[in-house]
Amino acid sequence: MEKGNYSFRRLINDLEADLMSYAKNLLGPEQITFWDRIKIVFKFPTFWLLVFHRYRFWVHSRFKNKFIRMGMKIFSLLGQRIFEIITKSEILSTADIGPEFCFAGKGGVTLGAKKIGRGCIIYENVTIGRDHLYNIPELGEFVRVGANSVIYGGIKIGNGVIIKESTVLTKSVPDYCIIQGNPGRIVERLGNRNPNKVTFI
């Protein structure tokens, strides 16, 4: 994590983009209204997990003094513990998550990625990462990870990759392809097709 790289404006913009992503993926592609925003905040506890994670990430990036950091983190600590237990999910504190991120599903996610690009979607019961220091994967943009899959070790996943459900992936993967199986293999290459247009599952 680089110091001073994550400004307060970026925090607010990222959360706004996350809200839009939740609305698009879980409620439908229609125009989002004020009531839809309220619905997302109260219906999906995984959204709150993201809020607390981004807040803690911003505090680490913005403040260098140890005591101010501790004071700011008191607000997030209890809330984070509560939502960790409600959703059965954990997020590594140094994970740099891009905007338009979405947890589709109930949770059960153990997320220990070094960097996650823009527009990723993660379904339920997924494990990403092996430990908290050395073997941490890096995800590109618009990656979709299906339910019950495992991404393990210090690997690199390209842009627009689709990982199907119950995959176990331990090797690096190029851009734009579909991966399936245990151990995971490339099933189909998408070429330069727009990953947003490919229907999932």
Partner 1 sequence: MMENIKADLDRYFQNNSRSLNPSVKKKIKIIGENYGVHAIFVYRFGYFIESIINDKKLNLIKQLLLGAYYMLNFFVIKMYDIRINRKAKIGKGLYITHFGGIVISNCILGEHCTVNQRAQIEGDDFSSNEELCHIGDNVWIGPHAIIKKGIKIGDGATIAAGAVIRADVEKQCLALGNPARIVNKNYDNSILNV
- AA identity, residue 119: G
Nearest to partner 1 of 59, 169 (CB atom)? 169
Nearest to partner 1 of 90, 96 (CB atom)? 90
Q: Pick from 98, 99, 105, 108 the residue near partner 1 by CB under 8 A.
A: 108
Length of the chain: 201
| Residues in binding contact with partner 1, number by CB under 8 A | 20
CB 178 within 8 A of CB 160: no
Q: Helix, strand, or coil here: 147?
A: coil
Q: Pick from 16, 131, 174, 185 the residue near partner 1 by CB under 8 A.
A: 131
Determine the Cα–Cα distance for residues 39 and 188; give it in Å rounded to an integer.
37
Q: Is residue 61 involved in binding partner 1 (CB under 8 A)?
A: no
Q: Is residue 159 involved in binding partner 1 (CB under 8 A)?
A: no
Q: What is the largest CA-CA distance in the chain?
A: 51
Place of tokens 């994590």: 1
Nearest to partner 1 of 16, 131 (CB atom)? 131
Q: Pick from 7, 13, 182, 194 the residue near partner 1 by CB under 8 A.
A: 182
* Helix axis angle, 45-62 to 34-43, nearest 10°: 90
* Helix axis angle, 8-22 to 45-62, nearest 10°: 160
Q: Is residue 125 involved in binding partner 1 (CB under 8 A)?
A: yes
Q: Pick from 52, 83, 101, 152 the residue near partner 1 by CB under 8 A.
A: 152
Contact residues toward partner 1 (CB under 8 A) are 85, 88-90, 108, 110, 125, 127, 131-134, 148, 150, 152, 166, 168, 170, 182-183
